[in-house]
């Protein structure tokens, strides 16, 4: 039973390029969350999606960042025109449909973006 | 707004007990979670509290007081492998999103 799969695990981009990070949720999970983590810091919420629907994007920067979770295929976090400040670990998590009890998030191993 | 506070770092000795406190102020509350994260790895779920009181899971226990906006994670019989960051997170009433504190780095010394 595969866990949350993220790829690439490591990505190097030059300033101005685009970064695409992919996340396949656990089997049976229909909710996906993206978090960003800077070194020695906690996880900062970015966006929460269900299939073909953005539920909460309150943590997404207004420009250059976008996310999708299509009907088929993985969720994608896209960062256009990357800058050095985008260098971070990006974690994806998934969960089953909302329930009244429990409902912990299951995290992937993260994608580490380095912007040169 | 949301505010989740926990100490930045703690040091303890192998075999001892460490208590990591977490205080929160959120607009809603639908559960408090603790995660463990080793350096360079994914966070892994440790415990969940939604009602006041103590939840025990082996060497790890978590306590919640909703009226005080307070939780703690208790690690007993510390082992070297417990050296990690411990993240406190709150789920507000709406949706399943978790809001995390900054994490507490625990260093276990021999």
Answer yes or no: is pLDDT of B103 > 80. yes
CB contact under 8 A, B45 and A43: no
* pLDDT tens readout for residues A49-82: 999 999 999 999 999 999 999 999 999 999 999 9
- Closest Cβ–Cβ partner in A42, A102, A106 for B100: A42
Segment A23-46 shows an average pLDDT of 92
CB contact under 8 A, B42 and A109: yes
CB contact under 8 A, A31 and B33: no
CB contact under 8 A, B100 and A56: no
Cβ neighbours, 10 Å, residue B23: 16
Which residues 6+ apart lie within 8 Å of A72 measured at CB?
none
* Interior/surface letters B52-83, b for 16+ CB within 10 angstroms, e for the rest: eeeeeeeebbbbbeeeebebbbebeebeeebb
Chain B CB contacts of A40 under 8 Å are 105
Which residues 6+ apart lie within 8 Å of A105 measured at CB?
A33, A93, A94, A95, B45, B96, B98
Answer yes or no: is pLDDT of A23 > 90. yes
Indicate which of B29, B33, B42 best probes the interface with A, i.e. most A CBs within 10 Å of its own CB: B42
Rg, Å, chain B Cα set? 13
> pLDDT band for position B96 (50/70/90)?
confident
Chain B CB contacts of A35 under 8 Å are 100
pLDDT at B95: 67
pLDDT at A54: 95
Q: Return mean pLDDT, chain A.
A: 92
pLDDT at B1: 60
Segment A27-44 shows an average pLDDT of 91
> Sign of the CA dihedral A49, A52, A57, A60?
positive
Q: For A34, phi and psi rounded to 5 degrees?
A: -115, 135
Answer yes or no: is pLDDT of B93 > 80. no
Q: Number of C-alpha atoms within 13 angstroms, CB side, residue A32?
A: 31
* pLDDT tens readout for residues B37-57: 999 899 999 999 999 999 998
pLDDT at A104: 85
Which residue of chain B has the CA closest to A108?
B42
pLDDT at A103: 75
* pLDDT tens readout for residues A89-110: 999 999 887 655 567 899 999 9
């Amino acid at each position: 039973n595969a866990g949350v799969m993220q790829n690439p695990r490591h990505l190097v981009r030059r300033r101005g390029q685009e970064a695409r990070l992919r996340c396949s949720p656990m089997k049976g999970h229909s909710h996906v969350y993206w978090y960003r983590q800077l070194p020695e810091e906690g996880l900062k919420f970015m966006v929460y999606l269900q299939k073909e629907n953005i539920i909460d994007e309150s943590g997404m920067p207004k420009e250059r960042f976008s996310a999708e979770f299509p009907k088929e295929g993985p969720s994608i976090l896209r960062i256009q025109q990357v800058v050095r400040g985008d260098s971070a670990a990006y974690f994806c998590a998934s969960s089953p449909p909302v329930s009244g009890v429990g409902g912990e998030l299951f995290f992937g191993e993260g994608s580490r973006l380095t912007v040169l | 707004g949301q505010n989740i506070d926990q100490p930045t770092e703690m040091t303890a000795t192998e075999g001892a007990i460490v208590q990591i406190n977490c205080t929160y102020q959120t607009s809603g509350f639908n559960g408090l979670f603790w995660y463990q994260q080793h350096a360079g790895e994914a966070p892994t779920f440790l415990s969940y509290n939604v009602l006041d009181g103590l939840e025990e899971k082996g060497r790890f226990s978590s306590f919640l007081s909703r009226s005080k906006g307070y939780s703690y994670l208790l690690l007993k019989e510390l082992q070297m492998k417990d050296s990690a960051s411990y993240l406190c997170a709150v789920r507000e009433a709406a949706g399943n999103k978790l809001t995390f504190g900054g994490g507490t780095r625990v260093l276990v010394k021999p």
